[in-house]
Amino acid sequence: MNLTQASSPYRAPAAPDPAPNWRTFAACTQPGSDPELWYSTAEPAIEEARAYCRSCPVLADCLRDAMVLEGKSSKDNRYGVRGTYTPGERAALYRKSATVRAYVASG
Ligand code: SF4
């Protein structure tokens, strides 16, 4: 009998659901929010996205994630408002802050 071709009516139990991560609690993913708001380049939309971010319970997690994910990218390779910061502001934060650069480097 070839075990790789054997079929069985028995199935392994489903893996338990992973613990929810911070994205589960993000204000921008809640019903009623418009995801396009965070990727607009129009100033009124940017300010509206920032307002959501200011009340977001996972703002710090989001900003840390963006900084690590984007690394030393230029502002042209960063997208959307994250943790109240625009792409240009995140690029400037990376350039100006040795603490941020060290955190990003630590992965
Ligand atoms: S802080 Fe991040 S997760 Fe929260 S609303 Fe803003 S972009 Fe979304």
In the reported structure, the alpha carbon of residue 69 is separated from the centroid of ligand 1 by a whole-number distance in angstroms of 15
Mean pLDDT of 44-69: 96
Residue 62: its pLDDT value, please? 97
DSSP 13-52: PPPPPPPP-GGGG-GGGSTT--GGGGG--SHHHHHHHHHH
Mean pLDDT of 53-63: 97
* pTM for this entry: 0.81
Q: What one-letter code names the amino acid at 70? A: E
Query: Ligand 1 within 6 A of 37 CB?
Result: no
Query: Ligand 1 within 6 A of 67 CB?
Result: no
* 1-53 residue pLDDT tens: 555 565 666 776 677 667 779 999 999 999 999 999 999 999 999 999 999 99
Contact call for residues 104 and 72 (beta carbons, < 8 A): yes
| Per-domain boundaries in the chain | 24-105
* 68-89 residue pLDDT tens: 999 999 999 999 999 999 999 9
Total H helices, total E strands in the chain: 4, 0
Residue 6: its pLDDT value, please? 57
Contact call for residues 80 and 39 (beta carbons, < 8 A): yes
Give the Cα-Cα-Cα angle 76, 82, 83 (nearest 5 degrees): 140
